[in-house]
Amino acid sequence: MNIEKIVEEVLSEMGRSEESQEKHLQYEQKKEVTVADPVSKENIEYVQRLTPARIGIGRAGTRMRTKNYLDFRVDHAAAQDAVFKDVEDKVIEKMGLSLLKSRAVSMQEYLMNLDAGRKLDDASADWLKNHAEKGEQVQIIVSDGLSSTGVEETVPDLYLSLIQGLESKNITVGTPVFIRKSRVWIQDEVAALTDCELVISLIGERPGLATSKSISAYIIYKPGEESVEADRTVFSNIHEGGVPPVEAGAYLADVIERMLQNQASGVAFARIK
């Protein structure tokens, strides 16, 4: 074989390799009964439809089957991405939220130092003092928390529904903000700086292997230095596979209206009949 022929074949192989690299493989996750010879496959399929839990998976020796293992790895990767990736700026801008930051300068500090995520950095605190609307009934905070995916996939519809619900009830809303790497208790400082009656935080939940898109809503009426966890009301599991975002937003608006009327949240609100 001459040199020209060899070069032609090498270039041809390189071209095919580049083409294959441009193609992305799509791994399809689909619930299947992978137990070998199940007593009742229909019963297992029925239970699989009722829960996101890993039910009816088979094994090969002492290990799970390859498909089940790949499903696990896909879900685990999604959970890790939800925690460590930042919410994209375009998502924040589309919702019209002002961008603030906590004192946590890195994800490692956020995870290891709880207090760093409970306070605004100096620049963000100054911005709230000088630019945010003051004295409104409700202050909305959106936080990435432990799921950037939850914010990107769930919050836009939830936020829009909540805003529409509050407006329909003539409840005034302050300047909505997004706070990177913040925790629930940061709402106490925000409330003090904006002089609002009630704060609601929409925050990414810790992802599991069932979903990485879940959001929780924490609400507190007039928080102060003496506020504790029992003063907060929480609604969780808001995502497409749990409580639908649009439905949750409308429901939260109703709850906020009743909290303002009763001037209470948390355990005190739960005791009101």
Residue pointed to by tokens 């069932």: 210
> Would you give the DSSP letter of residue 54?
-
DSSP string of 108-176, one letter each residue: HHHHH-GGGGGSB-HHHHHHHHHHS--S-SEEEEEE-TT-HHHHHHTHHHHHHHHHHHHHHTT--B---
Q: Does residue 24 carry a pLDDT above 80? A: no
Return mean pLDDT, the chain. 87
pLDDT of residue 58: 82
| Domain layout of the chain by residue ranges | 30-47+56-84, 89-270
Q: Which residues of 191-212 are buried (b: 16+ CB within 10 A; e: fewer)?
A: bebbebbbbbbbbbbebeebbb
| pLDDT, position 74 | 77
Question: What percent of the chain shows pLDDT beyond 90?
Answer: 55
CATH topology of domain 89-270: Rossmann fold (3.40.50)
Residue ranges at the known binding site for adenosylcob(III)alamin: 184, 205
pTM: 0.78
**pLDDT, average across residues 151-167:** 95
Q: Does the structure show a pLDDT above 70 at 269?
A: yes
Query: pLDDT: is 101 or 145 the higher one?
Result: 101
Q: Best-predicted range by mean pLDDT among 53-57, 62-66, 226-230?
A: 226-230
| Whole-number Å distance between alpha carbons of 218 and 239 | 15
Confidence category of residue 89, pLDDT binned at 50, 70, 90: confident
Instruction: Tell me the average pLDDT across 240-262.
Output: 95
Please report, in range form, the residues annotated as the binding site: 184, 205
Determine what percent of the chain falls in helix, strand and coil, rounding each to the nearest 5.
Answer: 50, 15, 35
Question: Can you tell me the mean pLDDT for 189-202?
Answer: 96
- Of all residues in the chain, the percent with pLDDT exceeding 70 is 86
- Most trustworthy range by pLDDT among 6-15, 19-28, 65-74, 200-209: 200-209
Q: How far apart are CA 107 and CA 90, in angstroms?
A: 20
Reported confidence tier of residue 115, pLDDT bands at 50, 70, 90: very high
Stretch 74-91: mean pLDDT, rounded?
76
